[in-house]
């Protein structure tokens, strides 16, 4: 055996689902070869190997690098003014119906130069990376016409080439009804299915397709058309489902074997049954719940009982979740949704990988998986969901390389 690097004097939270809490191995070592995990286990079981370099972690913890599986990082401007309006009593729906909301960010984004979009998104990515994220999902959805949606996805692919971390790109053309189609939402869905989707696929700009199922956005029938098109193009789907009302979004996502159904505040029993049946991940977004002052909590007990994998994500966006910290999101998930610290870490690693279809090579620490590692100056991984505003990250490895 030839190893490039051996990390010793470590504690490891593998985050594999079975076995001890956090998949913990104390007094452990982890070996990297060719960018992958070549071996890990208790130090006393270390086999003979040719080791190019050995480093002591002096008791630090290794976890899988964090994964933010739901963000809207590419946008221009902000919506601080609407934030203030909401605090004075206006609702998110009222602002959206009056032409604000998503459409106001669409206007700012269409007007911004590509250079501005690149640098502002890069800065947000850097913030996530600095606290341990090695994979980030980014959605389009603030372009809402052919040219602008393509430009946003091209920005995402450009960032992917230069960010040093992995990026998953999601086409969210069906995010809102653009002003140009105010009274013809079906006409806009035609455009999404017949023009945008083929162009996105031809340029290989997306890894998945998402949509927003809500009274202020699109109906289940309209989204079913978007998902049929995605399926015809071979792209997996995800859905913003049941955030502000129960629109049957979770069941629709499950019907299309979606990778994930996200938000889920108003999902009912039949919806969680459908998710469990389909193996669809429930992605919870406490930042949006907090910012919108929601009171209806997602059906956590049902998700747990039915063994639906739970992921958590920042939903970083200028409207409903001005939150650019997955660590803070983990803490919010404990306080707002009563997830345990272990569920939060699983939600930001193992289940987040599954929500992106990347579980074969990421999300847990196992031999053969990519060596995406976060190394922390902590005495227990529960600390990661406990502090708000601290950064205990000591080092981040992506595919075996320190960043």
Query: Under the rule (CB under 5 A), what is the footprint of Fe ion?
Result: 315
Nearer to Fe ion by Cβ, of 37 and 217: the residue is 217
Q: In 232-252, which positions are buried (b, 16+ CB within 10 angstroms) versus exposed (e)?
A: ebebbbbbbbbbbebbbbbbb
What are the distances in angstroms from CA 297 to CA 19, 269, 300, 302? 29, 14, 8, 12
Nearer to Fe ion by Cβ, of 313 and 330: the residue is 313
Nearer to ligand NIG by Cβ, of 101 and 132: the residue is 101
CB of 394 to ligand NIG, least distance (A): 32
CA–CA separation, 398 and 166 (whole Å): 8
Which of the listed partners (ligand NIG, Fe ion, none) does 101 bind, with a CB threshold of 5 to 8 Å by partner kind? ligand NIG
Which of the listed partners (ligand NIG, Fe ion, none) does 243 bind, with a CB threshold of 5 to 8 Å by partner kind? ligand NIG
CB of 317 to Fe ion, least distance (A): 6
Which of the listed partners (Fe ion, ligand NIG, none) does 105 bind, with a CB threshold of 5 to 8 Å by partner kind? ligand NIG
Which of the listed partners (ligand NIG, Fe ion, none) does 291 bind, with a CB threshold of 5 to 8 Å by partner kind? none
The tokens describing 225, both together, are 């058309």
Which residue, judged by CB position, is nearest to ligand NIG in the bound state? 319
Residue with tokens 């076995």: 19
Compute CA 36 distance to the chain's CA centroid, rounded to the nearest angstrom: 23
Nearer to Fe ion by Cβ, of 238 and 350: the residue is 238
Nearer to ligand NIG by Cβ, of 311 and 393: the residue is 311
Which of the listed partners (ligand NIG, Fe ion, none) does 32 bind, with a CB threshold of 5 to 8 Å by partner kind? none
CB of 102 to ligand NIG, least distance (A): 4
Which residue, judged by CB position, is nearest to Fe ion in the bound state? 315
CB of 12 to ligand NIG, least distance (A): 33
* 375: β partners: 62, 395
Nearer to ligand NIG by Cβ, of 263 and 362: the residue is 263
CB of 314 to Fe ion, least distance (A): 9
Nearer to Fe ion by Cβ, of 68 and 315: the residue is 315
Nearer to Fe ion by Cβ, of 25 and 235: the residue is 235
Per this entry, what is the length of the chain? Answer: 403
Strands (E), 205-249: 208-211, 238-241
CA–CA separation, 353 and 362 (whole Å): 6
Helix, coil or strand: residue 359: coil
Q: Which of 74, 261, 102, 233 is nearest to 169 (CA)?
A: 74
CA–CA separation, 284 and 276 (whole Å): 15
CB of 200 to Fe ion, least distance (A): 18
CA–CA separation, 283 and 348 (whole Å): 10
- In degrees and rounded to multiples of 5, residue 317 shows phi and psi of -160, 160
Which of the listed partners (Fe ion, ligand NIG, none) does 327 bind, with a CB threshold of 5 to 8 Å by partner kind? none
CB of 343 to ligand NIG, least distance (A): 21
CB of 24 to Fe ion, least distance (A): 32
Q: Which of 271, 151, 162, 169 is nearest to 210 (CA)?
A: 169
Which of the listed partners (Fe ion, ligand NIG, none) does 319 bind, with a CB threshold of 5 to 8 Å by partner kind? ligand NIG
Do residues 65 and 327 make contact, with C-beta atoms less than 8 angstroms apart? Answer: no
| Binding positions for ligand NIG, rule: CB under 6 A | 72, 101-102, 105, 212, 240, 243, 288, 315, 317-321
Rg over CA atoms, the chain: 21
The tokens describing 52, both together, are 């190019």
């Amino acid at each position: 055996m030839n190893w490039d690097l051996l990390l010793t004097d470590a504690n490891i939270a593998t985050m594999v689902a079975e076995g001890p809490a956090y998949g913990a191995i104390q007094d452990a070592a982890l070996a990297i070869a060719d960018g992958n995990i070549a071996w890990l286990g208790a130090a006393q079981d270390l086999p003979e190997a040719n080791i190019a370099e050995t480093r002591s972690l002096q008791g630090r913890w290794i976890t899988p690098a964090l994964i933010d599986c739901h963000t809207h990082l590419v946008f221009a401007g902000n919506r601080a003014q609407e934030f203030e309006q909401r605090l004075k009593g206006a609702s998110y729906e009222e602002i959206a119906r009056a032409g604000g909301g998503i459409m106001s960010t669409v206007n700012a984004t269409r007007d911004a130069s590509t250079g501005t979009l690149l640098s502002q998104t890069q800065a947000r990515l850097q913030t996530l990376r600095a606290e341990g994220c090695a994979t980030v999902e980014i959605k389009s959805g603030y372009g809402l016409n052919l040219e602008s949606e393509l430009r946003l996805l091209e920005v995402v692919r450009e960032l992917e080439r230069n960010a040093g971390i992995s990026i998953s790109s999601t086409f969210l053309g069906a995010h809102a009804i653009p002003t140009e189609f105010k009274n013809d939402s079906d006409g806009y869905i035609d455009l999404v299915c017949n023009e945008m989707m083929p162009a996105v696929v031809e340029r290989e700009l997306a890894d998945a397709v998402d949509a927003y199922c809500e009274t202020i956005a699109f109906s289940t029938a309209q989204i079913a058309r978007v998902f049929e098109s995605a399926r015809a193009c071979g792209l997996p789907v995800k859905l913003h489902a049941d955030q502000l009302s129960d629109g049957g979004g979770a069941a629709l996502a499950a019907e299309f074997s979606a990778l994930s159904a996200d938000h889920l505040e108003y999902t009912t029993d039949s919806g969680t049954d459908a998710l469990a049946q389909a193996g669809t991940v429930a992605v919870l977004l406490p930042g949006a719940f907090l910012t919108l002052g929601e009171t209806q909590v997602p059906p956590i007990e049902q998700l747990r009982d039915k063994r639906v994998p739970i992921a958590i994500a920042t939903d970083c966006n200028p409207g409903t979740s001005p939150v650019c910290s997955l660590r803070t999101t983990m803490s919010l998930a404990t306080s707002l949704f009563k997830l345990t610290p272990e569920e939060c870490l699983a939600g930001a690693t193992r289940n987040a990988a599954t929500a992106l279809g990347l579980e074969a090579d990421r999300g847990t620490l196992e031999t053969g998986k990519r060596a995406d590692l976060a190394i922390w100056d902590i005495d227990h991984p529960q600390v990661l969901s406990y502090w708000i505003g601290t950064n205990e990250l000591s080092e981040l490895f992506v595919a075996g390389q320190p960043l």
